[in-house]
């Protein structure tokens, strides 16, 4: 197990849980949370975004499909005495929510690496739960598209989304998908690497748009 301290909060990270990286920090460093927000942290991993957002927000719900991540995030919630503000649930995207739940802010640092089926088969013995943390399917977009298809069902009318996008999984496709659903985007931050560009976007309902 590894550990680190961020903004005075201590985090333990299991070997099979996503260790916060450039994408996580791009989002956490640019969080815009207000004290009235009911926040959803989709794919919470070790809970870093949920716990930092929980410092300000009214309440945060973190969701992860990995049992190990859920146990890990709950441990970090307890370690940082955030039990009253952060709740962690096990589930595949929206399955962990009640149909009437609505959020003022959604955070999502999705798994976005394209992992071809052939590659998985070659190395199937080594394909464990940790790979799920970055496995975005054949094109890198499977989880992103599933998120985009339904996020607005659980968003308050004035709600916002802060989401990390990568040049490895067709940034423009995400932006045009969101626009088609009546959302406008703003690029808030960017990090460039020799193999990838990470962009943090904020989404909110385009004003005056009636789908
Ligand atoms: C790139 S990691 C981000 C973890 C953490 N939010 C961070 O920023 O460090 C993506 C997370 O999404 C989770 N995940 C993958 N598929 C998911 C799904 N269908 N539903 C919920 N969580 C999922 C993974 O288990 C992983 O913890």
Instruction: Return the pLDDT at 208.
Output: 44
Residue with CA nearest ligand 1 atom 1 = 111
If one residue of 6, 43, 97 were mutated to test the ligand 1 pocket, choosing by the most ligand atoms within 8 A of its CB, it would be: 43
Closest C-alpha among 196, 194, 202, 152 to residue 175: 202
**Token digits of residue 112:** 């976005």
Q: Counting atoms of ligand 1 from 1, which one is nearest the CA of 112? A: 1
Gap between the Cα atoms of 143 and 131, Å rounded:
13
Gap between the Cα atoms of 181 and 85, Å rounded:
31
pLDDT in tens, 44-87: 999 999 999 999 999 999 999 999 999 999 999 999 999 999 99
Question: CATH number, domain at 127?
Answer: 3.40.50.150
Q: What is the mean pLDDT of residues 187-203?
A: 93
Number of domains in the chain: 1
Q: What is the mean pLDDT of residues 39-47?
A: 98
pLDDT in tens, 176-194: 999 999 999 999 999 999 8
Instruction: Return the pLDDT at 209.
Output: 43
Gap between the Cα atoms of 67 and 89, Å rounded:
9
- 211 lies in some domain: no
Residues 6+ apart with CB under 8 A from 131: 115
Range list of β-strands (E), 58-196: 59-64, 86-90, 103-108, 155-166, 183-192
Spacing of C-alpha 158 from chain mean position? 19
Q: Counting atoms of ligand 1 from 1, which one is nearest the CA of 20? A: 9
Q: Are 108 and 24 in contact (CB under 8 A)?
A: no
- 101 lies in some domain: yes
Closest C-alpha among 89, 72, 195, 92 to residue 143: 92
If one residue of 51, 63, 108, 133 were mutated to test the ligand 1 pocket, choosing by the most ligand atoms within 8 A of its CB, it would be: 133
**Phi, psi of 25, deg, nearest 5:** -75, -30
pLDDT in tens, 116-129: 665 554 444 444 54
Residue with CA nearest ligand 1 atom 19 = 92
80 is in which domain, residue-wise?
Answer: 2-205
Q: Is a pLDDT exceeding 80 seen at residue 205? A: yes
Let me know the angle formed at the C-alpha of 23 by 154 and 126, rounded to the nearest 5 degrees: 95
Instruction: Return the pLDDT at 121.
Output: 47
Mean residue pLDDT of the chain comes to 89
pLDDT in tens, 128-154: 545 556 666 666 788 999 999 999 999
- 210 lies in some domain: no
Q: Which of 11-15, 90-94, 123-127 has the weakest average pLDDT?
A: 123-127
Q: Counting atoms of ligand 1 from 1, which one is nearest the CA of 134? A: 1
Q: What is the mean pLDDT of residues 30-44?
A: 97
C-alpha distances (whole Å) from 144 to each of 11, 14, 136, 171 are 26, 24, 8, 11
- 182 lies in some domain: yes
Instruction: Return the pLDDT at 134.
Output: 64
Q: Are 168 and 141 in contact (CB under 8 A)?
A: no
Which residue has 């149909």 as its token pair?
A: 99
- Centre of ligand 1 to C-alpha 209, Å, is 31
- Centre of ligand 1 to C-alpha 18, Å, is 8
Higher confidence at residue 118 or residue 23?
Answer: 23
Residues with CB under 6 A from ligand 1: 18, 20, 24, 43-45, 48-49, 63-66, 69, 92-93, 109, 111, 132-134, 143
Percent of the chain exceeding pLDDT 90 equals 78
- Centre of ligand 1 to C-alpha 92, Å, is 10
> Confidence class of residue 170 from pLDDT cuts 50, 70 and 90?
confident
Let me know the angle formed at the C-alpha of 85 by 93 and 178, rounded to the nearest 5 degrees: 35
Which residue has 């094109």 as its token pair?
A: 139
Instruction: Return the pLDDT at 125.
Output: 45
Q: What is the mean pLDDT of residues 95-114?
A: 92
């Amino acid at each position: 197990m590894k550990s680190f301290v961020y903004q005075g909060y201590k985090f333990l990270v299991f070997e099979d849980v996503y260790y916060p990286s450039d994408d996580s920090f791009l989002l956490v460093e640019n969080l815009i949370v207000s004290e009235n927000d009911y926040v959803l942290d989709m794919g919470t991993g070790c809970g870093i975004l949920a716990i930092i957002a929980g410092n300000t927000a009214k309440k945060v719900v973190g969701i992860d499909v990995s049992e190990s991540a859920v146990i890990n995030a709950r441990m970090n919630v307890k370690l940082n005495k955030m039990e009253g503000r952060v709740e962690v649930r096990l589930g595949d995207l929206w399955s962990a929510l009640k149909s009437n739940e609505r959020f003022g802010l959604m955070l999502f640092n999705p798994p976005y690496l394209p992992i071809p089926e052939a590659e998985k088969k070659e190395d199937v013995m080594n394909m464990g739960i940790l790979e799920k943390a970055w496995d975005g399917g054949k094109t890198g977009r499977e989880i992103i598209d599933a998120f985009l298809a339904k996020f607005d069902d659980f968003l308050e009318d004035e709600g916002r989304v802060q989401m990390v996008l990568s040049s490895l999984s067709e940034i423009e496709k995400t932006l045009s998908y969101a626009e088609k659903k009546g959302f406008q985007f703003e690029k808030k931050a960017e990090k460039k690497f020799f193999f990838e560009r990470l962009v943090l976007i904020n989404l909110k309902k385009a004003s005056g748009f009636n789908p």
